[in-house]
Structure 1
């Protein structure tokens, strides 16, 4: 997975674009990802269902085990994707980029996405959040597999596009939590007036809104970024033809 269109087997000594310290988004992304994993992962490594941050539905006893495995594989995906979208790392260490990419796909996204489907169907947060989680899991699996296939076929421009989408969906787990905080702050004061004191209804509303906005907006932003880059390339080609 890469944010560069350059062939991934390019010489590691070749300079490609700005150096790593001139990418101001790299360090903040890594810090946020590590902090998120450090906060999210420990309860699910404890093997204690009482530590779960998601209520277990009565009709699905293995919920905690499935959720724990999903969190573990998802954490692998979150951490490895930070390396994969770092242009300096890809350009200077192409072999490591390929190895980490396989870890991202086969030890992160694919098992995490399959388990996410199970978790989504058994979600305690209602059908709106459940539907969002199912769509997200299917898109996550589909974009990641498409990107992997493009790399296998050496179609690296298409590989880049699909993996940028996969990256956006992987990191949506973080934006989901940010939206949750926003809606808790904005909707909690309306508990009595709008929701007649029904805390379950408030929780379902917050979960549904956060679930959909959490991945739809990052995916839209990724598509905008891709189209913006394509438009710039078309303008450069047109300028060269005129010259």
Structure 2
């Protein structure tokens, strides 16, 4: 296969990965809701406290975080599909507004949650969650700022950064699975590391994609 053909296939591959991660994210939200209300058992590795204990003790902040998160997962991908954006402008604008509002709620609640319940990964996970929540909110604000000024290029770039950070929660789960299967460490030890890896990986991919697709300008 030629290099040019491989490059042409790259957007399709990334789109497939995006929808896989969205599916994981929606499944995570559904599982957490069922777990905090006792409909299904919470995962409890090696006799340690169940993962959903803290969330079950604080259902209000949990639901305030994950229900808008479901809108983030459902509406996010459609913001980046050119056919939808170009042919259904009204839908794109309305869904985009809902997406940004829901994303702000997700980001603000993520910033508050470590002060209400200590994450499984302790201070390490809390620090990662708060740092990337701040970046997520900054990226959303800059995306909103640029679209109000009709700068679609910079709006797109900051939307990609925001969506990449939010979508990282889905990539973090397989990373956690790898730690469970290969490390033998306690979740309290590796959860924070998994969060840092997932968020950082998504930001790197976002920056690579932004630079790869940035329009070429000539002086």
TM over 0.5: yes
More relative contact order, 1 or 2 (CA 8 Å, 6+ apart): 1
What RMSD, in angstroms, separates the aligned Cα atoms of the two structures?
A: 2.6
The match for 2:187 is 203
Q: 1:117 aligns with which of 106, 111, 116?
A: 111
Partners of 2:99 and 2:56 lie apart in 1 by 29
The match for 1:40 is 29
CA contact (8 A) 2:111 2:129 kept: yes
The match for 2:97 is 102
**Structure 1 residues 112 and 55: CA distance shift in structure 2, 3 A:** same
CA-CA distance at 1:157 after TM superposition = 1.1
The structure whose Rg is larger is 1
SS state at 2:119 partner: coil
The match for 1:155 is 151
The match for 1:26 is 15
CA-CA distance at 1:87 after TM superposition = 1.5
Partners of 1:214 and 1:132 lie apart in 2 by 10
Instruction: Tell me the number of residue pairs that the alignment of Structure 1 and Structure 2 aligns.
Output: 200
- Runs of 5+ consecutive residues of structure 1 not aligned to the other structure: 1-17, 192-201, 239-243
**Structure 1 residues 69 and 45: CA distance shift in structure 2, 3 A:** farther
- Runs of 5+ consecutive residues of structure 2 not aligned to the other structure: 1-7, 44-50
The match for 2:206 is 222
After superposition, where does 1:1-243 map in structure 2 within 5 Å? Answer: 23-27=12-16, 29-44=18-33, 48=37, 54-57=51-54, 63-106=58-101, 108-121=102-115, 122-125=117-120, 126-188=122-184, 191=185, 202-230=186-214, 233-234=216-217, 237=218
The match for 1:6 is none
Question: CA offsets, 1:24-67, max 9 Å, x none?
Answer: 5435533541353034325426762686664445xx99623211
SS state at 1:26 partner: helix
TM-score by length of 2: 0.80
